Structure 1
Amino acid sequence: MPRTVRKARPNKKRGKRQTKEEETPENGGESGFFMDPQGQAPSEDQPMENASSSHMYQEQHFQAASFGEIDEQMLGYFKNVEKMLDDPQFETAEDQRLFVDSVYCEVEGNELRLTTNYSCSLILEKLLKISNAFQLRVFMDKLSGRSVELFAHRFASHVCQTLITLAADVVEREVIEGKPAEGPEPQDESQGVLLSMEELVLGMCEDIKPVVGGLISQQFASHVIRYLLFLLAGKRVDEMGDRKGRLRSKKSAKYKTENNDTLTKASAHASSTRSVPASFKNMFRTLSTELAINSSETEVRTLSVHQVANPVLQLLLEMQEDDEEGQKAKTVLLDRILWGIVTDVDSTAESKDRDSWFETLIRDSVGSHLLEVIAKVAPTPVYNKIYTTYLRNKLEKFSLHPIANFVIQHLLTNARSPQQFDMMVQELSGSFEKLIKGGKYGVIRSLIEASVTLKTSEKEILRSLTDALHMPENQDRKEFVNCVMRMWNLEDWTNSPEEDKRNLRNFHLQGSLILQAIVKMPAEHNNLVISSFLSQNPDTTFRWCFSPVGSRAYQSILSSPEVNIKIKRKVLRNLEGRYVDLAKDKFGSHIVEQCWSVADIDMKERIANELLKRERELSEHYIGKCILWTCKIGQFKRKREDWVEREKGIERKKEMFKDILEDEPVKASKKRKNF
């Protein structure tokens, strides 16, 4: 539909909100690039000068770059362009290409001005997203040599971020096809030859290399650097799964959502890596060296607790390859973050500076995130040194800390051996009740998940959990699932009014995750959950299916390979007569799909008959019609024999692959024993 009213946007500025005093011309306005002694930003025709060495991070002050104002005629033209982009009327792809070409013709010579203008930068992002590879290369070429100013600019940084994201697809295509996408021949030979996207990206990296240490701690440039690192390392960007805000700031993500601007989402079928040229890997190592090896220890530690620079260090640690150069950069970076811990990994001598620094880092709201990554990627000797020197015999203290407990969770889930994990369990086994009272349920969940992975200490962990819930071994544990799902002890459950017991909002997310993890344990251990679940009235557990938290726990019992098929069939029978109600619920419909995947042919016929009786009702429901399609009720109704043959064929395939899948855990368990 055509837009009749243009939404006002002046109050939705991206980036850090500034006071009137900060925005005055005397102090330079928003953070951007260097000012000259007279207080004037470099003009478009004035070459940028190296302001500082990359090692003098604290002395770099990026001030606003100004390339001139946009005249009213250009602003009016771009508003019309935005209307066309928001409500496209192109009949063919060629029409769209010609429109984009005409816009770029109008833009020519004003790229830098438009990129640094608030309104026009937003429109440029939309334009870039429908541009072809050649148009993107031309636009990036116009920005060459100005990367530092643009990365550090409040508005231009978002344009660069979008441009780098789109460049990733172009580079991958160049690598696969062996040549860049060609465009029209230049009319003026003096314009030269247009570089490939690979060369343009490398040129951008060369621009920022001398000051990359300062840029990663700059408010607007840091997110662009992270995108660039993803591109160089050949990683696929997924903004939709960016829960820690390492790719886009919270304000930027909120703005994108509110304005229906599509965030980048990696396809479920796409590989997590991209094809990139060898030169990109070399440049990634160069930037890693610049940040890790050529920086002093003091500088790296300063960046470790810097809110903007810290996520860049996390990415550098996670994305290093397993080759010699990658491991060297990782170990040097670890050594400098943790005050020479790699150098002294075999030493038993105390280091008071390192000890006090680690205590500061693990309690710091920013630095602790870096320790979480270190627990995951550190070489085994370094991991062992961290555990034995700083965390052993202190696990309870740090587990109860509001910030440090997240580091402990990562320490537990990344334990290097079953024997080491057993020591951790032994230390924390008496702390479960304190953890529950203190609301540190994630530590308990991490213990259970690590136990499932390493196949050890299951009995000890479950005994500690039941004791904390006041359900000793000699007592009836019928209410175990009810207590865990709410993270209440037995007295809390017994003394609660019936209304609170029936209120599904009392379900606790971490309790549900703990239950889901226990179900993955071997049958001798998950029997605690299964027996408690089956002892409940089916009407009670049926209500779980309509809760976002409860339905996940219910579903985990049906999906776990460790739960006996006879138990799953009993659960399916308990739901007979209720499948239609489940099929019309956004949470219950997932239960129906899971039931269908584990049901045998006889049970599938019962479910199908139940759905067929109310086919019309389901077909008119936006979720119910999806269940009809999943269960192929149309075929069941008209060609039942074909439907039966189809479902039997699916069952045969499952049985065939079942033997293959069951052999894998046996091999894995042998490896663990040898280890």
Structure 2
Amino acid sequence: MGEDKFAHKSGRKRNGMSRKAEQGGHGFDGSNTHKNTFWMMDGGTLNSNKKFSNNKSTSTPQTSLIRKQVDPETTKYFTEISNLFESDEVDFEERSIICGNALEEAVGKEFELATDYIISHTMQSLLEGCKVDDLCNFLYGCANQFPSIAMDRSGSHVAETAIKSLSMHLQDEDVHGLVEDTLTAICKEIVANPLDVMCNCHGSHVLRSLLHLCKGVRPESSEFHTRKSSTVLAERLNVKAPRYNGDGEFHTGRGFPEILKFLVSGLLKGARKNARILQVDQYSSLVIQTILKLLVGQDDELRHIIPILLGCSEKDVVEGNYVQISVVPDVVDLMKETAFSHLMEVILEVAPENLFNELVTKVFQKSLFELSSHPCGNFAVQALISHIRSKDQMELVWSEIGTKVRDLLEMGKSGVVASLIATSQRLQTHEQKCCEALVRAVCSTDESPRCIVPRILFLDRYFSCEDKVKWNFPCGVKIPVMGSLILQAVFRYQTELIQPFITSLTSMEDNHILEVAKDSSGARVIEALLNSDASAKLKRRLVMKLRGHFGELAMQSSGSFTVEKCYDASNMSLREAIVSELVVVKSDLSKTKQGPHLLRKLDVEGFASRPDQWRSRQASRESAYKEFHDTFGSDKSKSLKTGGFLADSSKQKSHPKDVKTMRQEIEHFTTSGVPFLSMSGNMGKSEKGKHSDKKYTRASTDNDISETKTKSSKRKRNKDQSKNAAAGKRKQKI
């Protein structure tokens, strides 16, 4: 990557876009942006209000870099290019040439141009539209200033754009070496003084992008820098399957493993000398979190890095003893800091099993309730509970906070309780204890269980009420998400464990049930009960409370899902009542986003035009569902009492794909008037029937081939026996 890399550009200037043609030109002389002669770059400033920032040993070096004013001639040149691009008069090929010429003119002025508030936008356009060799030449030329560019408010966007453009060539083998050399030059400059970039708000973001690029992940990939808190929470509460696995679906190219190793090693050198800064600074914490996630699956590396991040001495870290007891009090205190609390969440997510076990028994044991009560520490406890891997670990956690469920709810730490419930369900342990503790937390022994669900839905309002006995359901108030999530987790338990919760919800006042159904968070609770193992009779009791309001609910995007669940859980008469209400609002419902699907699923048009045929089709489907479950259902499902349309069919969770396929087939054949499981004579009348015929034909062909082989084998054996008999006779004659 020497001067030869620039030699090929000498004959490339075209279209009059060389700055040499603009001698004597004037730029933004009157612009306020360019009146200041010098700009000062400040990097590596730490948050002064951090708990540990007063320690003199943790002060970070600050670097200052003077940026000269962009000369008017250069300003005018890049302004003309910007105006040309905005005119949309340049085709793709010509644009690439212009970008290359402009980037050549930027040689030696990369820092000034990239950090200029106005010209930086033009630089981004150039880096997006240039060829890969021009891009690499630009980055290689400003590699020694790349950290300063990355730490600038405007320059960071230019650096991000360059990294994003490089990521587009991850799968291009022809330029892999060129990109690798460029990244090597940049990373060498960063690791020379990594703390400044890591602790800078702009530099931290650029650095995370660079780490992902080295790993082989494009910026467009889902959850590129970090996942939303709502996504993490959904995964922890078993509402959503984990998507981030570090070494799997996010990879779109081969990456640069050696450069990544070099960059990570250089960045973590600061962790040894300035561990305190990296532990409490929010921007460096984000960088380290990214590193840990990118190293998922590399257990040896994680077992080496994590103890250092906890403050352990590297020489004292040995296999089987990764966390020294001496650092435990300090780590517990650090988890009460915002940045380190987030970092600990990721550590718990990625830690190898033996290291995770030490974190549980050495760091968290005997401190669980203390941390659970803290505004920051409780998030680390939530992460710990969500990732525990054995029943013994669950028993340890339960012994410290299982009896403090009410205390945690009173303090507003409902996330810890929700994580506890979800993990007990995942590990199938302590389910009954969790249910009993939750009931005791909101309902005394002399109170009716009907108050349980309303109080959980409005946890904060209930526990902040001075006279809890007189507390009533607050109509017209939005339901908080956490109470809804707790109840959704509870209704995934077995029916015999959650009878108080089922009784409470099904015995609520009709107007309160309607309030819950109209709220997006509350509707999920009703749907959770309708999806649970509760009996069909109890489900229908809940559905009955919403009669007269299905049209109103269907008009809401969240309520339409509730209407569909109510329909699936109903018998014939209730289904007819639901569809009758939708007929009234059919015209308005069809104009909504969710309306067409609901109208089609419930066949509202068919009911409105031919109600008798609609009832006949519904009866056929009910009969088909029953026949299917009688034939293929488990012994448990056969013994269950089923209501209309097998309202409890949702219990058969062991074969969800089979049930879904069965439903689709029944929908098809009942619509066409062909009885399910009695259609072998009419299979050719539909596309599915044709596929089925092919299957039968293939099976019969296989049988014919098998029979043919058997007959051929028999003929061969008979022929061999005849030959042997004839040979024996010849021997006897001889």
TM-score, L = length of structure 2:
0.66
Aligned pair partner of 1:141 in 131, 137, 141: 137
Please show how residues 34-45 of structure 1 align to structure 2 within 5 Å.
none
1:556 aligns with 528
Q: What per-residue deviation string (whole Å, max 9, x for no partner) do you get for residues 468-512 of structure 1?
A: 22423x65311100111111269855413x6x632323x332212
1:415 aligns with 388
Distance 1:659 1:331 in 2: 42
Cα gap change, 1:637/1:143 in structure 2, threshold over 3 Å: closer, same or farther? farther
Is the CA contact (8 Å cut-off) linking 2:435 and 2:498 kept in structure 1?
Answer: no
Cα gap change, 1:212/1:405 in structure 2, threshold over 3 Å: closer, same or farther? same
* Structure 2 portions without partners, runs of 5+: 1-30, 46-57, 231-242, 634-649, 657-734
1:618 aligns with 2:621: no
1:524 aligns with 496
Which 10-residue stretch deviates more, 439-448 or 654-663? 654-663
1:306 aligns with 2:281: yes
Residue 302 of structure 2 aligns with an amino acid whose one-letter code is K
Aligned pair partner of 1:385 in 355, 358, 365: 358
Distance 1:603 1:285 in 2: 63
Cα gap change, 1:383/1:610 in structure 2, threshold over 3 Å: closer, same or farther? same
1:343 aligns with 317
Which 10-residue stretch deviates more, 440-449 or 332-341? 332-341
Which 10-residue stretch deviates more, 339-348 or 112-121? 339-348
Aligned pair partner of 2:411 in 427, 434, 438: 438
Cα gap change, 1:137/1:448 in structure 2, threshold over 3 Å: closer, same or farther? farther
Residue 280 of structure 1 aligns with an amino acid whose one-letter code is F
Cα gap change, 1:58/1:504 in structure 2, threshold over 3 Å: closer, same or farther? closer
Is the CA contact (8 Å cut-off) linking 1:288 and 1:329 kept in structure 2?
Answer: no
Which 10-residue stretch deviates more, 229-238 or 401-410? 229-238
1:364 aligns with 2:337: yes
1:208 aligns with 2:197: no
Is the CA contact (8 Å cut-off) linking 1:504 and 1:544 kept in structure 2?
Answer: no
1:63 aligns with 65
Q: What per-residue deviation string (whole Å, max 9, x for no partner) do you get for residues 256-289 of structure 1?
A: xxxxxxxxxx99xxx8422322x52332222223
Is the CA contact (8 Å cut-off) linking 2:191 and 2:267 kept in structure 1?
Answer: no
Q: What per-residue deviation string (whole Å, max 9, x for no partner) do you get for residues 81-139 of structure 1?
A: 5755xxx7x9xxxx75257447526734345354322123235546766x4xx646533
Q: CA deviation at 1:574?
A: 4.0
Is the CA contact (8 Å cut-off) linking 1:544 and 1:550 kept in structure 2?
Answer: yes
1:581 aligns with 2:552: yes
SS of corresponding position for 1:308: helix
Please show how residues 418-567 of structure 1 align to structure 2 within 5 Å.
418-472=391-445, 475-487=447-459, 488=462, 492=467, 494-496=469-471, 501-505=474-478, 507-560=479-532, 562-564=533-535, 567=538
Length, aligned pairs only: 562
Distance 2:408 2:401 in 1: 10
1:662 aligns with 654
Q: CA deviation at 1:620?
A: 3.9
Distance 1:120 1:340 in 2: 47
Distance 1:420 1:526 in 2: 24
Cα gap change, 1:663/1:512 in structure 2, threshold over 3 Å: closer, same or farther? same
Is the CA contact (8 Å cut-off) linking 2:204 and 2:284 kept in structure 1?
Answer: yes
Is the CA contact (8 Å cut-off) linking 1:509 and 1:549 kept in structure 2?
Answer: yes
Cα gap change, 1:222/1:465 in structure 2, threshold over 3 Å: closer, same or farther? same
Q: What per-residue deviation string (whole Å, max 9, x for no partner) do you get for residues 164-192 of structure 1?
A: 235434324x3xxx556xxxxxxxxxxxx
Q: CA deviation at 1:373?
A: 1.6
Q: CA deviation at 1:466?
A: 2.1
Distance 1:625 1:320 in 2: 46
Please show how residues 265-304 of structure 1 align to structure 2 within 5 Å.
272-277=249-254, 280-292=256-268, 294-295=269-270, 297-304=272-279
Is the CA contact (8 Å cut-off) linking 1:128 and 1:136 kept in structure 2?
Answer: no
Residue 274 of structure 2 aligns with an amino acid whose one-letter code is E
1:328 aligns with 300
1:51 aligns with none
Residue 80 of structure 2 aligns with an amino acid whose one-letter code is Y
1:220 aligns with 202
Residue 104 of structure 2 aligns with an amino acid whose one-letter code is G
SS of corresponding position for 1:170: coil
Is the CA contact (8 Å cut-off) linking 2:198 and 2:204 kept in structure 1?
Answer: yes
Cα gap change, 1:630/1:315 in structure 2, threshold over 3 Å: closer, same or farther? farther
Is the CA contact (8 Å cut-off) linking 2:40 and 2:64 kept in structure 1?
Answer: no
More helix by share: 2
TM-score, L = length of structure 1:
0.71
1:188 aligns with none
Is the CA contact (8 Å cut-off) linking 1:32 and 1:154 kept in structure 2?
Answer: no
2:16 aligns with none
* Structure 1 portions without partners, runs of 5+: 1-9, 14-22, 34-55, 181-193, 246-265, 665-675
Please show how residues 158-237 of structure 1 align to structure 2 within 5 Å.
158-172=157-171, 174=172, 200-201=182-183, 204-235=186-217, 236-237=221-222
1:190 aligns with none
Residue 274 of structure 1 aligns with an amino acid whose one-letter code is H
Aligned pair partner of 2:346 in 356, 369, 373: 373
SS of corresponding position for 2:283: coil
Distance 2:628 2:583 in 1: 26
Q: CA deviation at 1:419?
A: 1.7
1:238 aligns with 2:192: no
Distance 1:567 1:276 in 2: 53
Q: What per-residue deviation string (whole Å, max 9, x for no partner) do you get for residues 179-206 of structure 1?
A: 56xxxxxxxxxxxxx9765665555445
Is the CA contact (8 Å cut-off) linking 2:99 and 2:126 kept in structure 1?
Answer: no
Cα gap change, 1:357/1:600 in structure 2, threshold over 3 Å: closer, same or farther? same
Residue 450 of structure 1 aligns with an amino acid whose one-letter code is T
Identity percentage of aligned residues: 21
SS of corresponding position for 1:118: coil
Q: CA deviation at 1:547?
A: 1.7
Residue 432 of structure 2 aligns with an amino acid whose one-letter code is K
1:104 aligns with 99
SS of corresponding position for 1:122: helix
Distance 2:105 2:535 in 1: 68
Distance 2:311 2:450 in 1: 52
Q: CA deviation at 1:232?
A: 2.5
Distance 1:311 1:618 in 2: 46
Residue 121 of structure 2 aligns with an amino acid whose one-letter code is L
Distance 2:422 2:352 in 1: 21
Is the CA contact (8 Å cut-off) linking 2:272 and 2:308 kept in structure 1?
Answer: yes
Residue 158 of structure 1 aligns with an amino acid whose one-letter code is H
Q: CA deviation at 1:651?
A: 7.2
Which 10-residue stretch deviates more, 387-396 or 205-214? 205-214
Q: What per-residue deviation string (whole Å, max 9, x for no partner) do you get for residues 421-469 of structure 1?
A: 1221122133222222221111111111111111111222222222222
1:80 aligns with 2:83: yes
Cα gap change, 1:329/1:532 in structure 2, threshold over 3 Å: closer, same or farther? same
Is the CA contact (8 Å cut-off) linking 2:139 and 2:182 kept in structure 1?
Answer: no
Q: What per-residue deviation string (whole Å, max 9, x for no partner) do you get for residues 553-581 of structure 1?
A: 22332345x44555445444543442221
Is the CA contact (8 Å cut-off) linking 1:32 and 1:65 kept in structure 2?
Answer: no
Q: CA deviation at 1:152?
A: 2.7
Aligned-CA RMSD value:
4.5
Is the CA contact (8 Å cut-off) linking 2:38 and 2:68 kept in structure 1?
Answer: no
SS of corresponding position for 1:63: strand
Is the CA contact (8 Å cut-off) linking 1:555 and 1:591 kept in structure 2?
Answer: yes
Q: CA deviation at 1:319?
A: 1.8
Higher-Rg structure is 2
Q: CA deviation at 1:624?
A: 3.8
Q: What per-residue deviation string (whole Å, max 9, x for no partner) do you get for residues 46-66 of structure 1?
A: xxxxxxxxxx99446253555
Distance 1:406 1:516 in 2: 20
Residue 343 of structure 1 aligns with an amino acid whose one-letter code is V
Residue 371 of structure 2 aligns with an amino acid whose one-letter code is F
Q: What per-residue deviation string (whole Å, max 9, x for no partner) do you get for residues 9-68 of structure 1?
A: x99x9xxxxxxxxx99788244499xxxxxxxxxxxxxxxxxxxxxx9944625355583
Q: CA deviation at 1:411?
A: 1.4
Distance 2:138 2:583 in 1: 63
